[in-house]
């Protein structure tokens, strides 16, 4: 028990510095958006509040990083994505900003997506893969998709049905309560990862100023169809496994 407490304490001390730097970076990145009259200082406060909540969850979950005693470069990359995602999440519930801000928002989202291809490579390169890192990355992806879906809907680029894209993973998790067989692990799949990238790309494109409502609707509908196929394939695989041979 003492070893576990020491282990968690060491990791938490190591993680506090990156988390603090992330809070400062978030404030700096928010400044160009906060000049929009529709956002202002309240936007920065919302972003920092969201980041603070996520940082608390990160510190609480570090025990799953065993046996590694370093926070590691991969987690720092994922943390950088969290900073960008919190910046976007703070926009939920706001009116659509001007075109310059929309381009900046699309750029931040594209950077968050680009970093998604770095954290897994960094974990393997550093030899610091862990259950914590895999869960951290997965939850960041799910939150990212949810935020993009909400923004695409609230700014009138796509109908309310686009929220299904962001909600799909959370609905899947909830379905595991009455049907425990859905909680079983599924095998690694390149197709699943590709679908995740495609839906994020489609949602980012929906937010870009030149993309009209009709094209945004088409892109989002295609992303939703791919997502339904991906989840349907996993559910079918899990269903076959639960049946007696």
- Domain with 52 in it: 2-242
Kindly state the average pLDDT of the residues 8-15.
75
90-136 residue pLDDT tens: 999 988 888 888 999 999 999 999 998 887 778 778 777 788 888 89
Q: State percent of the chain over pLDDT 70.
A: 95
Count of domains for the chain: 1
The Cα–Cα gap between 1 and 5 comes to: 6
165-214 residue pLDDT tens: 999 999 999 999 999 999 999 998 999 999 999 999 999 999 999 999 99
- Judge contact between 76 and 48, C-beta under 8 A: no
What is the per-residue pLDDT for 98?
Answer: 85
Closest CA to 145 of 158, 131, 161, 163: 163
For 81, 110, 119, 132, the CA distances from 114, given in Å and listed in that order, are 9, 6, 10, 21
What is the per-residue pLDDT for 141?
Answer: 95
Mean pLDDT of the chain: 89
The Cα–Cα gap between 75 and 53 comes to: 17
- Alpha carbon 20 to its chain centroid, in Å, reads 20
The CATH number linked to 84 is 1.20.120
The Cα–Cα gap between 95 and 199 comes to: 23
């Amino acid at each position: 028990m003492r070893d576990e407490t020491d282990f968690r304490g060491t990791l938490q001390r190591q993680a506090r510095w990156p988390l603090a730097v992330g809070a400062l970076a978030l404030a700096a990145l928010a400044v160009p958006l906060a000049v929009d009259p529709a956002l202002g200082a309240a936007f920065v406060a919302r972003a920092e509040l969201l980041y603070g909540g996520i940082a608390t969850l990160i510190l609480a979950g570090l025990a799953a990083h065993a046996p590694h005693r370093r926070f590691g470069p991969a987690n720092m990359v994922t943390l950088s994505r969290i900073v960008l995602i919190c910046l976007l999440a703070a926009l939920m519930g706001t009116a659509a900003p001007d075109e310059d801000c929309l381009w900046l928002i699309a750029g931040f989202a594209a950077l968050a997506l680009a970093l998604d291809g770095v954290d897994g490579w960094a974990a393997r390169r550093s030899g610091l893969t862990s259950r914590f890192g895999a869960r951290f990355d997965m939850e960041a992806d799910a939150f990212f998709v949810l935020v993009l879906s909400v923004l695409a809907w609230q700014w009138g680029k796509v109908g309310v049905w686009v929220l299904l894209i962001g909600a799909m993973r959370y609905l899947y998790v909830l379905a595991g309560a009455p049907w425990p067989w859905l909680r079983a692990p599924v095998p690694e799949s390149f197709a699943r990862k590709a679908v995740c990238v495609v839906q994020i790309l489609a949602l980012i494109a929906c937010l870009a100023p030149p993309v009209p409502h009709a094209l945004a609707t088409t892109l989002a509908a295609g992303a939703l169809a791919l997502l339904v196929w991906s989840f349907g394939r996993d559910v079918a695989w899990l269903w076959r496994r639960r049946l007696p041979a």
